[in-house]
Structure formats: C-alpha cells, structure tokens
A = this chain, B = another copy of it.
Amino acid sequence: MYSCSDHKSCLSDALHVADKICQKKGLRFTSLRKIILEMIWSNHEPSKAYDILDKLKDVNLSAKPPTVYRTLDFLLENGLIHKLNSLNAYIGCSHPLEHNECFFLFCQECKEIKECCNKELAKAINQTASNNKFQPMNITLEIQGECQECTDKARL
C-alpha cells in the first residue's frame, strides 16, 4: 500500500519532527525514546510492544516491559505515535500535532497501515455524536480491509 519512494526520508523526517516537537515543548527526546520511535518507524507496519522489547534487548540487555510501555506512553501522550486498538499495536504518526482525529486503513494482506485523516469524515463523525447529544473526546476509527495493490496482485 505504502509506496514511499524513499523510506529513509520517512524515517529521518519523523525523527526530525519528533526532535523539534520535544524541543518546543521542553521535553527530553532521550536516546531510549529515539531508538523506540526509530524502531516503530522502521516500516509502515504496526509494531507490537513485545516485538519492540525483543529488538530493544539487542541494544539494551536490561530492557523490560516497563521500559517499552513507558516510552510508548510518552510517545502516545505527545502525539508521536498512535495505538491501534483493534491490533494492540503501535504506529508512527505521519503528521504529529496537526490535529487529533487520525483514522487508519489497515491492509490485512500487506499489513501496512495508512493514516487517512479527513476533515469531511471528522465532521460526519462529530455530527453523528452531536445528533446523539454526545460530546466526543476520543475517536477510534480503524478500517481493516484490502488495499488496491493487494487486490490487484490477487487478481494476477
């Protein structure tokens, strides 16, 4: 699904933006936080906490679950990653701080995730909530299915 022509720049952009955001907010972008964000951005697939832990152990023998979960919490709180509730997995945010209504397309075939933030859709969701006299605070929208590329491949 994701045909990023140059993934190295996806990665370096993400790290650069994270660094900037942390500076602006007066937060410390420590090496642990950087390494884990880097792992999450190693591809466009969702990362599982314990897979991150395994990788982290190569670098940091004493890494334990709280090492990972605390760092994930930091990254989540600061909008640098998202949690995909339907997968119990984590993905880098492709536009941190721009807004807080991010929707996801998840291809079950190639496992790639795409963020598909969309004002119209956000509006429709807020309208639905409003019709129900409901004040939305946090929206989870995760769409599982098949991307065009994978559908095409299957037809060959």
A: which residues have CB within 8 A of B? Answer: 1, 85-86, 103, 105, 107-108, 114, 116, 118, 120-121, 124-125, 127-129, 131-148, 151
Contact = CB atoms under 8 A, between A and B. Distances in A.
A142 B145 contact: no
Contacts of A131: 116, 118
A58 B134 CA distance: 37
A143 B116 contact: no
Contacts of A1: 134
A142 B143 contact: no
Contact of A121 (B105, B118, B128): B128
A101 B135 CA distance: 21
